[in-house]
Amino acid sequence: MKRKPGPCMTEEMLSEYDSIFCANTGCVLHVRPGDENVHGTGNWAQLADGIVVGRRRVDTIMLCDRCAVRVMNGEVTLSRRNAGSAAA
C-alpha cells in the first residue's frame, strides 16, 4: 500500500523552525537555531538545568511557555509598536 502524502507545510510553518524561539528579548530563550548553545530546531527547548519548555503563540507573537504564562497573568505586556518583542 502506498502512503498518502501529508499536507504541505506552508512557508509560514517552515519559517517558524528558523525563527526566534521566544520573542521576549529579556528571555533566556530569545535565541535562533545556529546561535551559540542552540542545537536543532522545533517547538521544544531543553534548558541547561534539564527543564523542557515549549512555545506557543499569544496573539501573533511566539513566546516560550514561561513568558506566555507571564503575559496571561499580566506580569509582562506585549508591545504593539514592535510586535516582535515583549516588555516587562
pLDDT tens, position by position, for the chain (88 residues)?
A: 555 555 544 444 444 555 789 988 889 998 888 888 888 788 888 888 888 999 998 888 889 999 999 999 989 887 755 444 454 4
> Do the beta carbons of residue 19 and residue 45 sit within 8 Å?
no
* Neighbouring-strand partners of residue 46: 52
Q: Does the model's pTM come out above 0.85?
A: no
Instruction: Name the grid cell of 34.
Output: 545556529
